[in-house]
Structures are given as C-alpha cells and as structure tokens.
C-alpha cells in the first residue's frame, strides 16, 4: 500500500484551531495512526475504530496497539477493531475505482460499526479518516449523534469518498478552519458551546 506519510496528518492545524474554539475532551476516531498521538495528548479519552478490510489494516492495528499500550492500559485509549464483511470489502474496492455502490448494500454494516463505537461515548467530536473509503456515509450517520464531526481528504477524490452525498441537516454548519491541500472539513451543531466566544468573533 502506498501510504502518504507526509500528508497523512495535514489535518492537525485545523484541529488546533477547533480546540481553541470548543471543549473537546472525548474523541471518536475512525482510523488510527500517528495522528492518534495528537488526540491523546489533547483530550481526556480517545476511542479509535479500526475497520479491518485488508490484511495491512490488521497489521496496523497491532502496531498501534503497541504504540499506545500505556494509554490503553490506563483507560485513556480504547481500540475498537471491526472486521468487515466480504460485501463491504467489495463495496470499498468499487469506491477505489470511483464507483459508488447502492447504500442499501452496506448501510447496516456501517450502522453496526457506529453503534459499537457510540457505546463507548458520548463524544464531543468524531473524526472520519479511516482506511476504507466510505467516509461521506459515516459523516451522514454521525449527524445528530455527535456535535462536532470532521473528515479528512474532503478536497480530493470525491468519487472515491462520496463527498457529494453528504446531506447537512439544518441544525449543523459546515466549517473549514484552515485551507490545506487534502482538505479537512468540520460540521458543527449550531448549539455547540464556544470557549469564551471563540476567535475572531466567530
């Protein structure tokens, strides 16, 4: 797998900005990695869901398990693996070719993944950056379950990630804190409390 190490955590400046505006202490992360360190250092609790579609996802799970073993043993980090069905793997492979499949084929499984993750909540923020490509669908499912939702790579590969399928409910606002090439987008519930009024009168 060609993994883009340089750009992988390009979202961090956006999160630094988000942390100055909102109280973010409990995080739900879809896709773990080096960036998990940032959340662990800046939050009270992180739940990382690793959806395992390919063998390298399992290897990555084990690597992260040893990277964050201290946080795991002291309860600050919850690692939640989810082995996905062959059907979901097929859907993901179609995504990689830029072909979106019918949502009914995989919506139940995504809901199961989300339900499992939410059982360790509630969360202040959910971040969708996992190794499978059904990111927009997970963003849609998170509306009205978590107040602040973020996703990475929103400037690129719309056919792969399905970004055009995101339907923002009227009680959320879409926000881009920082411009960056790959793109990090936040959707924030309108009644989310700001820390001392936020920056720049936001």
Ligand X SMILES: C[S@@+](CC[C@H](N)C(=O)[O-])C[C@H]1O[C@@H](n2cnc3c(N)ncnc32)[C@H](O)[C@@H]1O
Minimum distance from residue 142 beta carbon to ligand X (Å):
15
CA 110 to chain centre: 13
Closest distance of CB 36 from ligand X, Å:
6
- Cβ nearer to ligand X, comparing 41 with 102: 41
27 or 141: CB nearest ligand X: 27
Query: Minimal distance in Å, beta carbon 84 to ligand X?
Result: 12
The single residue listed with the structure tokens 């992180």 is: 46
The separation between the first and the last C-alpha atoms of the chain, rounded to the nearest angstrom, is 40
Least spacing, CB of residue 14 vs ligand X, in Å = 12
d(CA 129, CA 97): 19
Q: Which residues pair with 59 in a beta bridge?
A: none
Interface contacts to ligand X, rule CB under 6 A: 1, 3, 8-9, 31-36, 50, 56-57, 60, 129-131
Residue whose CB is less far from ligand X, 141 or 150: 150
Asked whether 16 and 39 are in contact (CB, 8 A), the reply is: no
For residues 129 and 187, which CB has a smaller minimum distance to ligand X in the complex?
129
Dihedral angle over CA of 85, 106, 183, 43, nearest 10: -70
Smallest distance, Å, CB 154 to ligand X? 13
Contacts of 155 (CB under 8 A, 6+ apart): 180, 181, 182, 183
Residue nearest to ligand X (CB): 33
Q: Looking at beta carbons only, is 156 or 194 nearer to ligand X?
A: 156
């Amino acid at each position: 797998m060609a993994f883009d190490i340089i750009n992988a955590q390009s979202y961090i400046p956006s999160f630094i900005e988000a942390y100055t505006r909102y109280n973010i202490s409990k995080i739900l992360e879809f896709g773990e990695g080096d960036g998990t360190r940032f959340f662990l250092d800046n939050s009270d609790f992180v739940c990382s869901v690793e959806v395992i579609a390919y063998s390298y996802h399992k290897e990555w799970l084990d690597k992260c398990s040893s990277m964050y073993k201290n946080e795991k043993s002291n309860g600050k980090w919850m690692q939640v693996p989810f082995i996905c069905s062959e059907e979901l793997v097929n859907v993901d492979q179609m995504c990689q070719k830029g072909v979106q499949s019918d949502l009914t084929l995989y919506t139940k499984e995504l809901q199961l993944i989300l339900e499992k993750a939410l059982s360790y909540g509630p969360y202040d923020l959910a971040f969708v950056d996992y190794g499978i490509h059904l990111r927009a669908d997970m963003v849609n499912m998170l509306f009205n379950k978590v107040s602040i939702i973020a996703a990475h790579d929103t400037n690129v590969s719309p056919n792969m990630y399905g970004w055009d399928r995101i339907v923002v409910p009227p009680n959320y606002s879409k926000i881009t804190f920082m411009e960056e090439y790959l793109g990090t987008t936040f959707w924030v519930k309108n009644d989310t409390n700001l820390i001392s009024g936020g920056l720049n009168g936001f």
